[in-house]
Amino acid sequence: MTDIQLNYHDGTSDNRNVIDEEVPFPEGKLIVSRTDAKGVITHCNQAFVDISAFSESEIIGKPHHLLRHPDMPAAAFKDLWETIESKSKWNGYVKNLRKDGKYYWVYAVVVPNIRKGKVVGYASVRRKPSRTKIDECTELYKTMLAQENEQ
Amino acid sequence: MTYRMTVSPDFSPDFIAGWYIFNTWLQNQLSEAIHLELFDSFDDQRKEIQEDKIDLIFANPYDASTLIRDKGFIAVAAPSGKADEAVICVGTDSDISCVEDLKENCNVSMADDPEVNTIGMIMLEPADLNKGNVNISELSNYVMVAKSLINQQSDVGFFLKESYDNMSKFIKSQIRPIIASEISVITHSFLVGPQLINRVDDIRKLLNDMHNLEKGPGVLASLGFEHWVNQEQEDAEFMIDLMDTLIT
């Protein structure tokens, strides 16, 4: 177990335990959450609660970076936000951090909730990724993270 | 004026009579003339939708998107406890025990049910399978999908869970589920079109109280569920957003 300080793009930081142990994605399920336009979680389903190891009350009202794993490069989330803020759909593979420090991989799709032409929030649905894609992204994100750390 | 009501063609044949009974009940409650038109195919129904010939519809989530966002329909109710889920099956004697056992160029059979087929293909993704690297046979109904598994013409078949559950014991003894979706949030909805916009509140109240009204429980039983749950427009909009995330 490693204790790591995570610094987020909004200027906040958090000390989190990180354990190098993967938790499998639940078979047949989709992990669903909804945020407001600022990325604060307003809704999540039971699969989200189960896989993240947080309780629902610990999730609702928190920013989505609650799940951010230190192995994820900042560039991936920058791309996500630039895409959805331009009212487009984003998809990608994400390594998420659980409350207990373990991790799980997802294939995530995020869409803006557009009502009367205005973005009122975002819906995110995660599904089970293939092992091939996880292996590819593990290598890719390592490289991206190394480049970010050099800068 | 006679309004036209229709039902998404993926409903179970067991409930055909139920929809006619429901139509009669609704006409009596609203004191409006409503003609029920059932379609064998999604294409035939969508043509009528495009030509603005439908006023009331029990729509699948795919068509709800077009109806709500392009055609001005309003969502009023969804059936209780009837989320749309998919089941992937193999033949009983198949060597395949999980999705990851499937390989490229495997044979996949499915019915003409876009929502089930989308969920089914998503459940194949962990095996790196997609529409481009499997052989798809689109068959006329779920019994034909089961037959293709039993006859070993397909490696896997997609089923609407409700259809799988209602299959005969004989068929179910010859096929085996390897994975079932538990999505919960995707459901059919009852939608009201622009021609009946002034009756939206009446229809919403009627459906949501139906289980308490005279003859209501019996009519609901003939449709295969116990009561409707209220569906606000935002509920339907959010479901459409979720469907959008699945089409990638």
- Its domain, for residue B103, covers 86-180
**For chain A, which residues score pLDDT lower than 50?**
none
Best to test chain A binding among B245, B247, B248 (most A CBs inside 10 Å)? B245
Segment B196-232, tens digit of pLDDT: 999 999 999 999 999 999 899 999 999 999 999 999 9
Residue A5: count of CB within 10 angstroms of its CB: 9
Residue B242 touches chain A, beta carbons under 8 Å: yes
What confidence score (pLDDT) does residue A62 get? 92
Q: Is A69 helix (H, G, I), strand (E, B) or coil?
A: coil
Q: Which residue of A has its CA nearest to B180?
A: A28
Domain final residue pick, B180, B212, B238: B180
**CATH number, position A127:** 3.30.450.20
Assess whether B6 and B56 both reside in one domain.
yes
User: Could you tell me if B194 lies within 8 Å of chain A, comparing CB atoms?
Assistant: no
Cα distance between residue B108 and residue B145, in whole Å: 9
pLDDT at A151: 75
Domain boundary among the residues B165, B180, B195 is at B180
Q: Is residue B56 domain-shared with residue B76, that is, in the same domain?
A: yes
Residues of B in contact with A32 (CB under 8 A): 185, 242
User: Comparing C-alpha atoms, which of B157, B141, B160 is closest to residue B149?
Assistant: B157
What's the structural domain count of chain A?
1
Q: Are B164 and B196 in a shared domain? A: no
Q: Do B125 and A47 touch (CB under 8 A)?
A: no
Report chain B (248 residues): mean pLDDT per 10 consecutive residues: 92 87 96 94 90 95 91 95 90 95 97 89 95 95 94 96 90 96 87 96 97 94 94 91 85
CA of A132 vs chain B CAs: smallest distance (Å)? 7
Least Cα separation, residue B32 to chain A (angstroms) = 32
Q: Are B36 and B93 in the same domain?
A: no
For residue B91, what are the contacts with CB-CB under 8 A and spacing of at least 6? B149, B150, B152, B174, B175, B176
Question: So what's the ipTM on this one?
Answer: 0.86
**Boundaries of domain holding A81:** 2-150
The domain that holds B15 is classified in CATH as 3.40.190.10
